[in-house]
Amino acid sequence: MMGELLAPHLRAWERDYRSRGKVWRGTTGFAPPELKGRVLELGCGNGKTASALSLSKGVELHAIDCSPTAVRLCAELVKRVGGNACVREANGLELPFEDGFFDAVVCFHYAGHLPANERVKAVGEAKRVLKRGGKLFFKEFGASDFRFGKGTQVENATFKRGNGVLTHYFSEEEVHGLFADFHEDSLGHEKWRVFLRGTAFQREEINAVYTKD
């Protein structure tokens, strides 16, 4: 089984999905009208983003996750919304696709759950399977997010929570450097507040779009 070969921080996701089921609620509105052709989503989880992309006309969606339970939940959600996607268990560090296979790669809250050396490898794999001129969509939590510092610090700005899952909090400069081999179309951050039990907390996400030269 592939899961038995994964590092502990990746196996932690399968335990979490088995325990909690649908870790991420609902679906997103992410389905850019200009997105066409073969699209790969890395770390699809239980289908929050895949369920939206699966409804996009002209998109052949491939969604992967290292957790077999997440893959099952994602496929179920895609079917429930009436979408179409190929959802499979796979490791984003060793993608089972040929070079230049995809027109776009969606990397939302995936790289931030990897240690530094694996983030570099994951970006390299994403670039390998992208065709020239292909787009990569990136989204991760920023260092101003209120959850920064929660858990045990294992690397710079990377923390392990009690469930064993790693979360890294990015700066814009770090993202720029991580994708230095790409053309940067856009890079910025979004901040908003959430209220929990009457107290306001700040959220932050770093968003970027890159093109493979």
> Residue 164 domain-assigned?
no
User: What is the number of structural domains in the chain?
Assistant: 1
User: Is residue 159 situated within a structural domain?
Assistant: no
Please name the residue that has the structure tokens 């998109």.
59
195 lies in some domain:
no
Residue 178 is assigned to a structural domain of this protein: yes
Is residue 20 domain-resident? yes
Can you tell me which residue has the tokens 């089921």?
Answer: 21
Amino acid present at 177: G
CATH number for position 56: 3.40.50.150
Domain that holds residue 136: 2-143+169-189+205-211
Contact 72, 18 (CB under 8 A): no
> Does some domain include residue 81?
yes
pLDDT in tens, the chain (213 residues): 444 456 888 888 788 777 765 555 667 778 888 899 999 999 999 999 999 999 999 999 999 999 999 999 999 999 999 999 999 999 999 999 999 999 999 999 999 999 999 999 999 999 999 999 999 999 999 999 999 999 999 999 999 998 899 999 999 999 999 999 999 999 999 999 999 889 999 999 999 999 999
Amino acid present at 165: V
For 94-99, the CB contacts below 8 A with 24+ separation are 94/125, 95/40, 95/64, 95/125, 95/126, 95/128, 95/129, 97/40, 97/62, 97/129, 98/129, 99/128, 99/129
